[in-house]
Structure 1
């Protein structure tokens, strides 16, 4: 092993990451490191290392250690660590610091200090996942020459309080069938009307923009909240005059009616593809196709991105599916076409004004290719333009079917 080095303190303006154009993005002692300028992520995911919840007495020392590791690996000409890896090492270093009561990592080379450390680990009631995280952090510290002791996995795992076992909750078949049947009915009912829904949404956006541009509150004494309520009132009055032919569809400002249809499309896609929520968010109609199997059989397939087991780096995979997924994706995508165009105009304006970086614009553009985008037309910015809260969507959909509160909790706990 090479001679040991200390994780030196860095100057405050040490640059950790840059945008794709070379501009400074994150400094070493920022509350988070944004690696989006150099790291590709799956749809709806962020390349961010967060330190906001690290105890302040340890935060800078952990940032010093992580950046020393980052520089070491970069000098070794290996692939730079991903945000996912850095977050995992950060969690491990946090637990080590708590049990060591400090961040002098190499003090663990002293047998007396190491025995005290093991007693603290044992008293902390860590499960084996936490201890494996600490071992991973120890290994990278050793690899980067920041610590001289090699740690025995068996020795530390013996201090574990065991595995966390999560109870798997299965949805009763009758409840599952009811949810799927209702979702399929929604897809079949509105699929043919999807372009009409998009035109209706376009009208809502236009009315909202017109009212906001016509209202002048510069000389009144009302608060911003009162002014916003006055604007909403005017918008709602004008929305009542819209005549449309979409059955069982109420026009709302918050996208709740669109949300019901979108949730049905999401449920159908999840149920008939086997994809996880994060993977399904990368789907759109162009991802669906058919494949010839043998001479006379066609099977439906859908492709998307997954980052499972890839340290957060996306790769494309394919699932066998059912033709109903094609309709679900077309409905979810086409009914939000005008909303998608609205968001594209918004992000184009932001990059033209300098409010968005190229990286942010590219990320948002990629997310807007999803069939499952956010439904808040009055948003001016968003951390993500895809629907990422599957529990909320499932809860709302299950509740709309008049399931009991207990049944709704089962649906959410099962993660569908």
Structure 2
């Protein structure tokens, strides 16, 4: 047994505190069924071990505690990973114990026991599932609790080839537009009614409570049984159906469980999600004050992000559209009655000692969201004991897949879906609806729609989705370029217009070379100039007509490419990187520089000189290589300016800070 493990066992003998309140007092002990993390003010407030088999529970709690202590010791802030990550670790350890049949994870250090365990893991799940399981074992290794380390070549053997796996789905464009249209119409329809909705719900809560209290008093009871409650709620529903508010608000429905309000909240949630690509918890942190269009041309929404920051909240912004303002106002104002009702019961619960200060503060913060729970139970205790008072948008992957969207996929939708989501090909059928619709699907669909329609690139995506790695942004945009290309290729008229535009541009370039520019430089330019001079000497006014040039371009006899360095390249098979090679290698044999291109080069040279001098004035040794390359680039342009009779002052500035 390792020294770390011996030390852990000694600590656990005292059943130490694993969580603490905001005053630093111990809150939950290691072997409690639930660990209370309210004081950390993260999106996840607790970890429950109630569903873990009792024969595994204490071992899982012990090793999870051991990892947390190691993480705190290694962290500068003396903190462990986010509660959400701890929950994932608990889940992985539970899965491992259930499959293996044991939970004394130190046994994994034994080669014999590891072989037995690994054998039980064959067919465990998808590649990501197996990778996550290996990751938690490796976390135990880092913590010094086991010596086992799982490499990819090992966990890849556990993969079940039939296990479903894949990234979030991207909507076919027609379905995407249909969903956008539905949520926008819903928001615009109900936004004017938002205060009426809240007033109607407040009237309902008050009436229902009065009826319940009257029934309890009449029966001389403190609580109704299930049958009595059903009878009472049925009677209340029949009376409420006749209220004028029900007809004053289109398709409105009174419901204490909040089913109609739930539809409203999901519509608003999808609306803000599709116009911001924020994550689920980020959206749930927003309220009607989150929208701002006062400081920039593009409006923004603000909220809290915890991703990649050990669960700590960071206030950040996302670009959005004006409809997000209406959606957030509708969601917040329509649930104001539920918010007030819940706050009153929270205050009572806190005053009566049913809630700790941290729990009270946490639930108050939940109610600051535009998206709060629309389910208001009669039982006060049931309300204040909810894990969260925010609207629940989780669970199944189709949590947002509502009948209100009336999606009926066409053959074109299915083809585009399979192209954008090859790992889910076949799950969308003609005449059917989306196989799922989750908050993460909104994010990926936002990205694909934006990139496919050239509304942004990977850097835009990186900013909007708050990715730390641009590779993740590219992964989200998977197949969008392919879909756009496929869409273009199928449009014969559009492709014909492209070809005509390309041919016209090529003819313009050749016309500039042969008939417009007085001087040509570059190896190929000088050859053309010599031939041009000979033909002009013979009395030809037009060296080559546009019709002749067009015929040569269409036949493939003439090819031309605009160079980033200025001028043109006439070699169709060129593989040089001219912006670099013109400085370090002999000039290209196929290059042509016209008078117009030379003037562009002159302007570029002026900008390079200004940039060189600004950097040079910093006197930083680290910039020496940059300045040296820039100086060579400036000087490489000068011979071209001489040939085109463009005046300039020779550049020969010294680099001020040079490594000795």
TM-score range, shorter chain: 0.7 to 0.9
2:260 to 257, 260, 283: 257
Q: 1:217 to 1:196 in 2, by over 3 A?
A: same
Q: 1:243 to 1:83 in 2, by over 3 A?
A: same
Aligned equivalent of 1:242? 243
Partners of 1:339 and 1:377 within 8 A in 2: yes
Aligned equivalent of 1:82? 82
Aligned equivalent of 2:322? 323
C-alpha deviations, 1:366-413, integer Å up to 9, x for none? 111111111123353122211122578976873135556974443537
1:25 to 11, 27, 31: 27
Aligned-partner Cα distance in 1 for 2:366–2:309:
20
Aligned-partner Cα distance in 1 for 2:48–2:393:
20
**Structure 1 range deviating more: 129-138 or 387-396:** 387-396
Shift in Å, 1:110: 4.2
Q: 1:386 to 1:53 in 2, by over 3 A?
A: same
Aligned equivalent of 1:189? 189
Q: 1:243 to 1:67 in 2, by over 3 A?
A: same
Aligned equivalent of 1:151? 149
Partners of 1:281 and 1:371 within 8 A in 2: yes
**Structure 1 range deviating more: 54-63 or 234-243:** 234-243
Aligned equivalent of 1:224? 225
Partners of 1:12 and 1:27 within 8 A in 2: no
Higher RCO, 1 vs 2 (CA within 8 Å, ≥6 residues apart): 1
Q: Secondary structure at the match of 1:273?
A: coil
Aligned-partner Cα distance in 1 for 2:69–2:349:
33
Shift in Å, 1:225: 2.0
Q: 1:115 to 1:228 in 2, by over 3 A?
A: closer
Q: 1:354 to 1:409 in 2, by over 3 A?
A: same
**Structure 1 range deviating more: 3-12 or 269-278:** 3-12
Alignment size in residue pairs: 404
Aligned-residue CA RMSD (Å): 3.5
Q: 1:394 to 1:224 in 2, by over 3 A?
A: same
Shift in Å, 1:326: 0.3
Q: Secondary structure at the match of 2:5?
A: coil
Shift in Å, 1:339: 1.8
Where in structure 2 are the equivalents of 1:10-409 lying within 5 Å?
Answer: 10-11=12-13, 14-21=16-23, 24-37=26-39, 39-42=40-43, 46-74=44-72, 78-94=78-94, 97=97, 102-121=102-121, 123=122, 125=124, 127-147=126-146, 149=147, 151=149, 153-157=151-155, 159-161=157-159, 165-166=165-166, 169-215=169-215, 216-219=217-220, 224-244=225-245, 245-290=248-293, 292-293=295-296, 298-379=297-378, 380=380, 381=383, 382-389=386-393, 398-403=402-407, 407-409=432-434
**Structure 1 range deviating more: 26-35 or 357-366:** 26-35
Partners of 2:183 and 2:271 within 8 A in 1: yes
C-alpha deviations, 1:30-72, integer Å up to 9, x for none? 23322223x2213xxx232333343433322222222233334
Aligned-partner Cα distance in 1 for 2:143–2:203:
59
Normalising by structure 2, we get a TM-score of: 0.54
Q: 1:392 to 1:346 in 2, by over 3 A?
A: farther
Show structure 1 runs of 5+ residues with no match.
none
Q: Secondary structure at the match of 1:136?
A: helix
**Structure 1 range deviating more: 375-384 or 298-307:** 375-384
Show structure 2 runs of 5+ residues with no match.
410-430, 443-660
Partners of 2:60 and 2:93 within 8 A in 1: yes
Aligned-partner Cα distance in 1 for 2:334–2:105:
56
Report the structure, 1 or 2, having the larger helix content: 2
Aligned equivalent of 2:486? none
Q: 1:248 to 1:66 in 2, by over 3 A?
A: closer
Q: Secondary structure at the match of 2:38?
A: coil
Q: 1:72 to 1:400 in 2, by over 3 A?
A: closer
Aligned-partner Cα distance in 1 for 2:166–2:284:
25
Normalising by structure 1, we get a TM-score of: 0.82
Q: 1:271 to 1:391 in 2, by over 3 A?
A: farther
